[in-house]
A and B are shown apart, each in its own frame.
Chain A
Amino acid sequence: MSDSPSSNPSARSWRDIPQEITSRAMSRVGRRRLTVRTMRTIAMVVGGLILAGGGFEIWRTLQDNPQKWTATVSSKPVRHIIVETDGVLNQVWVEETLQLRRDIGLRELELYAQRARLLTHQQIKSAVLKLEFPDTLRVTLAERSPVVRLKAQLDGPDLHVFLVAKDGTVFSGHGYGKRAAAKLPWLAGVRLVRAKVGFSALKGMDQVADLLSTARGNAPELFATWQVVSLERLARDGHILVKSSEVAEIIFGLREDFYSQVARLDLIIDETRRREVAPMRSIDLSVGAAQVPVAFNISSSLPPPAILVFPPCNFPSTARHFHRKF
């Protein structure tokens, strides 16, 4: 019904009234609507710019070097497999495990299936497979490190050696030579249960790993004599039993920290060596710092010890190993 302003230059129309008003003059609801509208406009402009930029880049690539575009989309057969790991597995093992066809193209690879194949080996904690065009597959592995070893029957009568990680995972231990595995103590007193893949994780291995790392780090000579770690009394009494070449049974408790117990053990062994008493049958470190019951092998030709129970001692100042360290 209304006229346009241009058609009547002599009389002003209501359409000449500017409808733009400042946000301050708006009501709260109006300001909120304006903000939403402005944000939507900005989003549209930014989206448009991104689309335009992307389109320009594609256009420029096609104009400057069309081969580059086609080279990116068409892949070549896999020529290189680069393996990065924090453990001992190598490229040969990875290639054997993946079993890739010689002429398989990079884009043909089913990365999820290949990753699942790697993860069937319990030694691998995580695996990341990455395609690097045009012909490289990069495999990044995170491995479990062994704490102890054990022997178990798998399918036949033969006993196989397995390694056990800190999280209790039992795995075959590819890439660990006999010499490397021989440095680990044996694990006893556990029961292996078959799982869908390998064995179920063993309980209490985090405490064993804590004990062994404490002993290896603070008393390596002492740790070198440890042969067997047993968990048979862990669940019942909270004791970890260790058999060493010098003592038939060393009992560690969970109530006190392993550092103190290892220090006390080191002191006792040093003391008995110095006094040249009969070889020890057992040392019970689980009783506490007040007293350490030590049993000797009395059938030996050496004289029995003068002191059977060691009093509390300030071990860091008396034990040479620990005194040096602290």
Chain B
Amino acid sequence: MIGFGEYQSHGVIMGVVTDFKAASDAAHSALITAEQSAGVKVDEVYLAQSDCHLEGFYNEASVSVSAADNTVSQMDIDTVCRLAKAKALPEGRMVVHHIRRPFRLDGKMVGRNPEHLNGHRMEVDYWTVHGQEAMIANGIHVIRGYDVWVSDRILSSLASGTMMTTWQDRQHGTLVIDIGAGTTDFVLYRDGTPLKTGVLSVGGAHITNDLTLGLRATEGQAEKLKIRHGRANVVTREKSDKVWLNGDFAIEDRQFPRQMIETITSARVTELFEIVKKKLGETLTPDRCPMGVVLTGGSSKLPGMADTAAKVFELPANLGALPPGVDEKLSDPSHPAVLGLLHFGLQNRVDEPGIRRRKSGGLLRKLFTVGA
């Protein structure tokens, strides 16, 4: 990693662009900082998606193996994949991701590539993520305003999940929850691939908002109280236990009941986890998710978060840790999504067996990339 840039987000509410200019200015400032930090020009961007309009559904397809000797061919794979993805979307919606689950041959899981295996019936299912076309286009145009190309859009939860879990975690089953400021992304892994993803339009900003209303404090004061005294579970027993807003004994300094702060913050966090649990429904069971819950994102720094998650999901829960070797400056829980994007960008892979990997490099391509 040679450069890094960040800038306070503006003009985006719950992952949706609401003020094009403000969002552009913020995104472009981050890009400029990254370019200056790295000393190179950015030509293409991998864009994280954490939009609240994203939804997903399952679609399954099966084909009979066409060869007389029952050997699966590439044509069979292409056909079953095409059928599994061939589902019309409502007007104004478009596909963001087709996440393929492992192939099954005669009801048995066969992994990534069943070609040359013997069987009669091949099945595959896809988790298709789709979103509002206009909102997706807005996100792309914000980036294009800097004259860089959006090479790929990757779900924020997938980016975080890739960085915060190991291959074994994903194989056995784990739930990754990325709690950001405006949205919460989650992904449930099983058999090494994402089983279900989702985006909730609830995040750390809602906890702040609850404190603002509950304590009759300003937004700035509420944010300060959340960071200093907020918890995801209530540990204070004494109602009379109070905390100072600033602790500097100035005239504006006020006292707030600690228990009330913890009650408000924990209520919102508990509710958040319950919504995630409800969204996952029957797909989340202790036997399907033995590796437990991994929490990440800026708001996961709230103390007691893992305990509350464990209590709600009835699963072991812990705060995610980045793999060893990552720069200390990027070890903050708010950065895994960016690191995950970088990981996807470097891999630049397409999970479809029938799809040729896009070639990178080459003089002609570079020429046309420059000239485009």
Q: Which A positions have Cβ atoms within 8 angstroms of B?
A: 1-4, 7-14, 16-17, 19-21, 25-27, 29-31, 33-34, 37, 40-41, 44-45
Contacts and interface: CB of A to CB of B under 8 A. Distances in A.
Contacts of A2: 96-98, 152-154, 350
A2 B47 CA distance: 12
Contact of A21 (B86, B128, B145, B370): B145
Interface of B: 24-25, 28, 32, 41, 81-82, 85-89, 94-99, 128, 130-131, 133, 136-137, 140-141, 144-147, 149-150, 152-154, 158, 344, 349-352, 354-355, 367, 370-371
A43 to B, nearest CB: 11
B87 A11 contact: yes
Nearest to B349: A1
A10 B88 contact: yes
B95 A26 contact: no
B146 A8 contact: no
Given A2-B152, A19-B140, A11 B145 contact: no
B137 A17 contact: yes
Nearest to B20: A25
Given A17-B137, A27-B25, A27-B28, A11 B153 contact: no
15 contacts: A1-B350, A1-B351, A3-B95, A4-B355, A7-B85, A8-B98, A11-B94, A12-B95, A17-B133, A21-B141, A21-B144, A26-B144, A27-B25, A30-B146, A34-B147
Given A1-B99, A2-B96, A10 B86 contact: yes
A8 B25 contact: no
Contact of A44 (B85, B128, B354, B367): B367
B94 A16 contact: yes
Given A3-B85, A8-B95, A11-B88, A29 B153 contact: no
B194 to A, nearest CB: 9
A14 B94 contact: yes
Contacts of B344: 1
A131 B146 CA distance: 54
A55 to B, nearest CB: 18
Contacts of B32: 29
B98 to A, nearest CB: 4
